[in-house]
Structure 1
Amino acid sequence: MKKFASLLIVSVLGGFLTLGSYLAFFEEEPLLIEEKGSIPAYTPVNFTATPGSTMADFREAARKSVNSVVHVKNMAITKSPFSNARAGIALQGTGSGVIISPDGYIVTNNHVIQNASRIQVTLNNNENYMAEIIGADPTTDIALIKIEAEELDYLPFGNSNNAEIGEWVLAVGNPFNLTSTVTAGIISAKSRDLGMDSNISSFIQTDAAVNPGNSGGALVNVQGELIGINTAITSQTGTYVGYAFAVPSNNARKIVEDILEFGDVQQGILGIRGDQVSRLPAGIEVSTTEGFYVSEVEQGSGAEKAGMRKGDIIKKIDNVEIRKFSDLKGYIGSKRPDDVLKVTVLRDGEDKELNVRLTKYETFQIKAIGLEVTNATPEDLKKNNTENGVKITRGITPQMQSESLAGTIITAIDNIPVNNIEEVKRVMSQRDPSDPISVTFVAPNGEKQKYVWR
């Protein structure tokens, strides 16, 4: 997998610098842009296959989809090079979006609308609207925007768990500014892990042609149901070569519902650590080649309360087969805290069913030092020989990612002890951002160190 990844470039499909930005100058409002960009050169190709030879008819699904997929333009206010006055509006990039309700809610990718000062949406009938951002989650690359309109065509969410390898699908979007483009292919794989820094590690893979500009567009089945949001391609060139990836609709729908109900994404966890059976180190003998091996159960977690043990192998959750880690993470990502899941584990050669209640996974990004932290469990504190602190989950900048600090405990910020992420938030909100920040760490070996960022 690593060798494969080293040969290919995972690239987001959309938004930024898709065809090269251009600048449109305005003295005042309005900000609507009538786009008349050139169409890239193409070569006509005759297609003489017998209609219906695929045994699937895409016409109805295509008709439903093209009117429900919109063109999204990301615009930024520019400054005059000679003063701080506004010079105009720059088109940073374009992508796609999917109307999911008749009153104008649209789901797209976060990278399509990121850093936008203005967002313009163009419907398939060429009507233009300005959109507002309702919410976005960078870690899953899903965003929700809204336009003021009524009685719009929209796509209903399908159940992505029911999608099958080999099933025909359509990709609908605006590649290269070619609006309302529909391409067909099959589902090539499910639960595909691209190794991206994302909470969605379970993409639907398709061979339907997807290119820059398709980001945020729809992956639909032949019934015209939305089963994915097209997000990424794997390519040496940045354009389509046969592999495209979509966030499953169950995950996207859950994120949208979280944004509308809570204002942010509610992430539930089982409370276990481990790895897929195929990646276990030598010395751990198991009787199966598929599943997720539980190497640790967190104290106080839903998994512990349900009776899960070290050495259990998770084979199924709610009748969804778990063959590898991406299966597990993808399914959990479609659920929220307090959901109760039926988990089937292999223990001592026999299947055992456990009812596990998910607990809330809370994190906070300390942007001043480029780290994300979560609440530490009593077991985490005991391991690090400390009585208080929060646990580092990951680096959020390239420099801190290279430091491999995951699992390290932060016990104090600016010499103020912290016990949980709420205390971290309070300390960070009350300090002067221009002052140096000192952080006290306790490494897994118990060694305590203090670092200062200036």
Structure 2
Amino acid sequence: MRRVLTQNFSHIATVATIVCALCFTMPAIQASAEATAKLQDLSQAFRDIAKEVGPAVVFIGTEQTVKSSSNSPTPEQFREFFGDDFMRRFFGEMPQGREYKQEGLGSGFITSADGYILTNNHVVENADKITVTLADKREFKAEVVGTDPKSDVAVIKIQADNLPVAKLGDSETLEVGDWVIAIGTPFGLSQTVTAGIISAEGRSNIGINDYEDFIQTDAAINPGNSGGPLVNINGEVIGINTAIFSRSGGYQGIGFAIPINMAKSVQESLIKNGKVIRGWLGVMIQQVTPEMVKQFDLPEGTTGTLVGDVLKGGPAQEYGIQRGDVIVEFDGKPIDSPTTLKNIVAVTEIGKKVDVVLYRNGKKQTIQVKIAEQTGNEKQASKRGTPDEATIEKFGLSVQELTKDIAGQLGYDNEKGVVISNVEQGSPAAEAGLRRGDLIQEINKTTIESLDDYNKAMKAVGDEKSFLTLIRRGENTSYVVVSAE
């Protein structure tokens, strides 16, 4: 009897063990099933987007006639050194060069059923012939409607009707971490789809375009993807794939796309006016650094853009903006960098009066300015930090009078100041970016017109370990803080 009980208890224990194991494994199995379902939903979303947007993505092939400098370039490299007589004696009369066709490829996407296509300027720039291949393999010759090298956006058109159209989204709604999909023709492989996330927003100072506000993504982008769409999870185009950061020439996880809001504005202007109409303020601007916050008596933590110069005849001069002003708000929008101000001014309606909030001599004020049209000859550049001043002993800087001859040689006619004659290597002046030939026009906001002015200003610096200077280099002016700390 005892034996039977023992066996029964053994069976009961086994059953209990199985039941307990199931108690522990059931949630894990259930969680795994839920995760798989979510992944399947995501996979289905990618499939749906590819099917929805893919038909509106096109392959763009270009041909350009290029003239070579010589059929035999190697001897040509020595022509300047040896002279024409030597070259003719040993190589004979060299051919003047030949023409050949250079082919290019890129991507684009259809924005209207009657054939308007958005792409990059660098895809179609200087092309003699543009061929567009649709997803259904039909080919069309394309004409350039307009290009904008400053933003690297171009609009081309094919003669066709009832075309599939890509839905354009709102790039202002993006957030870092959002899923995105890139569609294009990398290396000529049409309808290639890659996925990734938004890695960063508002990337500027990349050095690609005059107007930069790039979306950064890790979705694979390669040569040939340029001009293709970057699409959000809703199947809306939120950017134009434009460039990659790479040391190998291929994908390394950092790609850049032009925000679709900027591209839409450019496209509308190109179609309507044949050119891009941009607003113009008429200032030379630069980033406010932490050192400048103290020098300009700004509240701690102030960000904005410093006015390095006010251009003659521009709206800024007309309405009273001055050199040394720090702009912190424009038309109700906060300004945290020169790029932000530049981009906002560019899209401001011509003739609109806007409030410009700025600091002047440490005091906050608002100036109303009427925006003019940028014609292409004006300068409104964002300048990266450059020149500074200093005494020979403390700052490693030597200066001399600006004579008429020196002014003529350096392009400083009608300017006043003192010229930097030497900058000691490794000195505070050198570290601040000052160069020989820079023109010093202010020290600590005191105007410098002569050596006497300079000596008095530097004497006033006294035991201070830094000073603020305004320098001119060529046609540009910049404020620079020279620090011996």
TM-score range, shorter chain: 0.5 to 0.7
The residue that corresponds to 1:46 in the other structure is none
The residue that corresponds to 2:273 in the other structure is 262
Q: Distance in 2 between matches of 1:255 and 1:313?
A: 29
- 1:157 equivalent to 2:175? Answer no
2:303 equivalent among 276, 280, 290: 290
- 1:256 alignment partner AA: Q
- 1:338 equivalent to 2:351? Answer yes
2:61 equivalent among 42, 55, 73: 73
How big is the shift at 1:278? 2.9
How big is the shift at 1:175? 0.9
Secondary structure of 1:329 counterpart: helix
Task: Work out whether residues 191 and 330 of structure 1, in 8 Å CA contact, stay in contact via their aligned partners in 2.
Answer: no
How do 1:54-73 and structure 2 match up within 5 A?
57-73=45-61
Q: Distance in 1 between matches of 2:209 and 2:51?
A: 33
1:141 equivalent among 149, 152, 167: 152
Over 3 Å counting, the alpha-carbon distance change for 1:214 and 1:279 in structure 2 is farther
Q: Distance in 1 between matches of 2:363 and 2:37?
A: 51
The residue that corresponds to 1:326 in the other structure is 339
How big is the shift at 1:267? 2.3
Task: Work out whether residues 279 and 347 of structure 2, in 8 Å CA contact, stay in contact via their aligned partners in 1.
Answer: no
The residue that corresponds to 2:249 in the other structure is 238
The residue that corresponds to 1:271 in the other structure is 282
Q: Distance in 1 between matches of 2:40 and 2:328?
A: 35
The residue that corresponds to 1:92 in the other structure is 103
Over 3 Å counting, the alpha-carbon distance change for 1:117 and 1:311 in structure 2 is closer
Q: For residues 129-161 of structure 1, give each alpha carbon's deviation from its aligned partner in whole angstroms, at most 9, with x where no partner exists.
A: 111111212232211110111111112333323
The residue that corresponds to 1:105 in the other structure is 116
How big is the shift at 1:128? 1.2
Task: Work out whether residues 62 and 129 of structure 2, in 8 Å CA contact, stay in contact via their aligned partners in 1.
Answer: yes
Task: Work out whether residues 282 and 379 of structure 2, in 8 Å CA contact, stay in contact via their aligned partners in 1.
Answer: no
Over 3 Å counting, the alpha-carbon distance change for 1:88 and 1:312 in structure 2 is closer
Task: Work out whether residues 99 and 107 of structure 1, in 8 Å CA contact, stay in contact via their aligned partners in 2.
Answer: yes
How big is the shift at 1:197? 5.5
Which consecutive residues of structure 1, in runs of 5 or more, have no partner in the other structure?
1-48, 82-86, 365-372, 376-382, 387-403, 408-441, 446-454
Task: Work out whether residues 362 and 374 of structure 1, in 8 Å CA contact, stay in contact via their aligned partners in 2.
Answer: no
Secondary structure of 1:363 counterpart: coil
| Structure 1, 153-162 or 175-184: larger mean CA deviation | 153-162
The residue that corresponds to 2:15 in the other structure is none
How big is the shift at 1:326? 2.2
- 1:274 alignment partner AA: I
The residue that corresponds to 1:217 in the other structure is 228
How big is the shift at 1:361? 1.8
Task: Work out whether residues 107 and 185 of structure 2, in 8 Å CA contact, stay in contact via their aligned partners in 1.
Answer: yes
Q: Distance in 2 between matches of 1:406 and 1:71?
A: 49
The residue that corresponds to 1:186 in the other structure is 197
Q: Distance in 2 between matches of 1:277 and 1:237?
A: 35
Q: For residues 213-263 of structure 1, give each alpha carbon's deviation from its aligned partner in whole angstroms, at most 9, with x where no partner exists.
A: 000011122222222111111110111111111122222122222222222
- 1:52 equivalent to 2:38? Answer yes
Moved over 6 A (4+): 347-351, 404-407, 442-445
The residue that corresponds to 2:450 in the other structure is none
User: Which structure: greater helix fraction?
Assistant: 2
Which structure has the greater CA radius of gyration?
2
How big is the shift at 1:337? 2.9
How big is the shift at 1:198? 2.4
Task: Work out whether residues 278 and 289 of structure 1, in 8 Å CA contact, stay in contact via their aligned partners in 2.
Answer: no
The residue that corresponds to 2:373 in the other structure is 360
Aligned pair count reads 328
Q: Distance in 1 between matches of 2:354 and 2:239?
A: 23
Q: Distance in 2 between matches of 1:111 and 1:355?
A: 38
Over 3 Å counting, the alpha-carbon distance change for 1:273 and 1:185 in structure 2 is same
- 1:208 alignment partner AA: A
Q: Distance in 2 between matches of 1:62 and 1:342?
A: 45
How big is the shift at 1:320? 4.3
Secondary structure of 1:67 counterpart: helix
Which consecutive residues of structure 2, in runs of 5 or more, have no partner in the other structure?
1-34, 72-97, 381-411, 416-435, 440-472, 477-485
Over 3 Å counting, the alpha-carbon distance change for 1:234 and 1:194 in structure 2 is farther
Q: Distance in 1 between matches of 2:315 and 2:112?
A: 35
Q: Distance in 2 between matches of 1:60 and 1:332?
A: 39
Q: Give the CA RMSD over aligned residues.
A: 3.9
Identity %: 39
Q: Distance in 1 between matches of 2:141 and 2:250?
A: 29
The residue that corresponds to 2:328 in the other structure is 315
Over 3 Å counting, the alpha-carbon distance change for 1:444 and 1:256 in structure 2 is closer
Per chain length, whose mean CA-contact separation is higher, i.e. which structure has more relative contact order (CA < 8 Å, sep 6+)?
1
- 1:124 equivalent to 2:124? Answer no
- 1:360 alignment partner AA: E
Q: Normalising to structure 1: TM-score of the pair?
A: 0.62
Task: Work out whether residues 112 and 165 of structure 2, in 8 Å CA contact, stay in contact via their aligned partners in 1.
Answer: yes
- 2:38 alignment partner AA: G
How big is the shift at 1:313? 3.5
Q: Distance in 1 between matches of 2:280 and 2:241?
A: 26
Over 3 Å counting, the alpha-carbon distance change for 1:444 and 1:271 in structure 2 is closer
